[in-house]
Amino acid sequence: MSKIKILYTIPNFDTAGSGKVVYDLVRGLDKSKFEVEIACQHGRGSFFKEVEALGVPIHFLETTVAYRPYKSLLPRLRPIIKFFKLNEYDIVHSWHWSSDWTEVLAARLAGVKWLYTKKAMTWGNKHWKIRSFLANYIITINDMMKNYFPNKKNQKLIPIGVDTDYYKPKTIRSNKTSEIFKIVTVANLVPVKGIEVLINALNLMKDDSLKLKVVGDHENEYGKELIKLCRDLKLESQVEFTGKVVDVRPFIEEADLYVIPTIAKGEGFGVALVEAMCIGVPVLGSDVFGINYILKNYPELMFPAGNSEVLKDKLIYFKNMDKSKRVSLGDSLRAYSLKYFSMDGFISEHEKLYKSLL
C-alpha cells in the first residue's frame, strides 16, 4: 500500500502559535504510512531550525491569494492548483489562523482532500462559512466549537496533545514550604490573555511574599501597558517579565501555581495550561471556552473571567494550602493530562482521520 502524502500549510513557525503542534504532528506520524511536507511563507525564527531538523521537504510559498478582484481569482489560483497537482498530495491540512478560503478552493480544483483545524474562538463573517462549507473535514479542539458548524457532519474533536515525556515533573520535588509563593503565567501577550486581571488580584492581596513571573514577549503595546500597570501599583518587586523564552519548563517547574486569566471569548485550547498540568503544577484558569473544556473535571480550579476579587480569594486559598496537598493535586492533574491530552492519542486520532478521508 502506498503512503498517504500530506502537506501541512502554516503561515510560519515564528509568529504562528501552532508551529509546535505542526512540528509534533510531522515528527509523530508513522513514516511507514505517511509522507509529509510543509508549506510556509518564510523560515525566520529560532524554532524553524528545529523544524528543518525533521528532514521533511519545506516549501516557501503562499498557498493563499487575495479574494478580490473576483474576476481574476481563478487565474491567480492556477500556480497553487498546479503545485498541489504536481506534488500529488492526497491531503492538505491547513493550520492557517485566518478565514481564507482560497487555499481550499485551489485544493478542491486540484482534486485534493482539504481539512483545517479550527484553532481560535473567532467566528461570524461569511468567509469562515465559505471556508467551512468547502472543507472536506474540520477538526475542532474544544467541545464548544462544534456549534459553529451545525450542518457539518464531517467534523471531529481532537484536543491538542502535549509531549508528556518532555513536560513532566522534576524527579525530586521538595515538600518544604518556602516563604515565597511563586506564581507563573505563560502567554503570547495580547489583550485577550487578561494578564492585568492577575496583576490586579496580586495587588488586592497586599502580600509581599507572592512573586509572579510573566513569561512571554512583552515588547508590544500590551506588554508595555502591563509593565506600566505594575509600576503604577508599585508591584515592580513582585512581578517579573521574563520576555519570550524557547523552553518554558524551568519557569513552570519552580512555580507553586500556574494561572491562565484569559478574558473575552476564551482560548481555542490552552496548550500552556496543559503543559503546566503535565509538569504537575497546580493551576487556576478563567471560566471561558477552551479553558473550561480542559478543566471541566476540576471546576474548583476556575474563576469568573475578569474577576480579580475572586481570583484573589483563590490565590489566598492556594497559598495557605499545605504543600503536600498541592503536590497531590499536581499529581492528579498530570494523570488527567496523560489520559486525555497525550501526544500518542493526538497522533493516533489524526492518523485514523487521514486514512478515513481516503
Q: Strand, helix or coil at 243?
A: strand
Q: How far apart are CA 42 and CA 30, in angstroms?
A: 26
Judge: domain 4-161+342-357, CATH 3.40.50.2000: yes
Q: Strand, helix or coil at 242?
A: strand
177-222 tens-digit pLDDT? 568 999 999 998 899 999 999 999 999 999 999 999 999 989 999 9
42-99 tens-digit pLDDT? 999 888 999 999 999 999 999 999 999 999 999 999 999 999 999 999 999 999 988 9
Tell me, what's the pLDDT at 268? 87
**CA-based max dimension of the chain:** 70
Question: Any idea what DSSP says for residue 297?
Answer: T
Which conformational region is residue 267 in: left (phi greater than 0), alpha (psi within -120 to 50 degrees), or beta? Answer: beta
Question: Dihedral, CA atoms, 308, 309, 313, 318, nearest 10 degrees?
Answer: 10
Domain boundaries, the chain: 4-161+342-357, 181-340
Judge: domain 181-340, CATH 3.40.50.2000: yes
What's the pTM value of the predicted model, to 2 decimals?
0.89
